[in-house]
Amino acid sequence: MCEGERTEVDYLKGITSFFGALPVEVEAVGLGRDPLQVVQEAIDRFHEARVNARRTKDANLAFDEVWCLVDVDEHTRLEQALALGRREEVKVVVSNPCFELWLLYHFQELTSGVHRTVLLKEKLPKYLSGYNKRLPVNFPYAAHPKAKARALRAAPKHTETCHKGPNPSTTVWLLIDAIRNAGDAKRR
C-alpha cells in the first residue's frame, strides 16, 4: 500500500514488470496522505484477506506479507504509524523527505539533506523531463541496484522497516529486494 496514488504505484508496477510476472499485488491508498491511515488500511485488508482465505478454504487469498510505502514529509502521525506497523508486523518503508528520493537514486548520489520541493522541482527534472508525478515508460528500473547502493551510502544505518531515517534516506530498496526475492522463489 502506498500513500501516493501515482508515482509509487507507477514505480511498483514498473519494477514488478521489470522482474517478470511476479506474485505481488500493489494497491494505492489515497487516504489524505496520512501514514497512520495507510498502515491501518493495510492491516484491515490483511485481516480481511485472512478471513476470506479461511472462509473459502483458499490459502492463496491470504497475503504472505504486507508492505506500506510512506514519506516523512510533514506528517505528524508518522511515529504512530511506524509503531503500529511494528506491532502488527506490517513492513513500513520510509523515505525522507519523500519517495522521489528513491527515484533520484536511480540517477545520482545525494547525501545531504534536501527539501521535497527541491527534489520535485530541481533534482528529478534534470533526469525526467517534465516530471509531474508520472513515470515515463523508459524509466531505468534496471538501475535499482545503484539506487540501493546510493541509499545505503547516504544512510548506512537505515536498514530496517518501520523506522524513520535521517534526511536523506529511504528503505524502499527493502521492498524491491522482497519483490525480487518473491519472484526468484516462485520460479524455483
Q: Residue 82: which residues within 8 A CB-CB, separation 6 or more?
A: 35, 92, 94, 162, 163, 164
User: Quick one: pLDDT at residue 174?
Assistant: 97
Q: Is the pLDDT of residue 188 over 60?
A: no
pLDDT in tens, 133-155: 889 999 999 999 999 999 999 99
How buried is 74 (Cβ within 10 angstroms: 0-12 exposed, 13-18 middle, 19+ buried)? exposed
User: pLDDT digit string (tens) for 53-79?
Assistant: 999 998 888 888 899 999 998 888 999
Mean pLDDT of 71-90: 93
Q: Is the model more confident about 22 or about 87?
A: 87
CA triple 111-76-113, angle to 5 deg: 10
Q: Identify residue 108 by its one-letter amino acid code.
A: Q
Higher model confidence: residue 4 or residue 15?
15
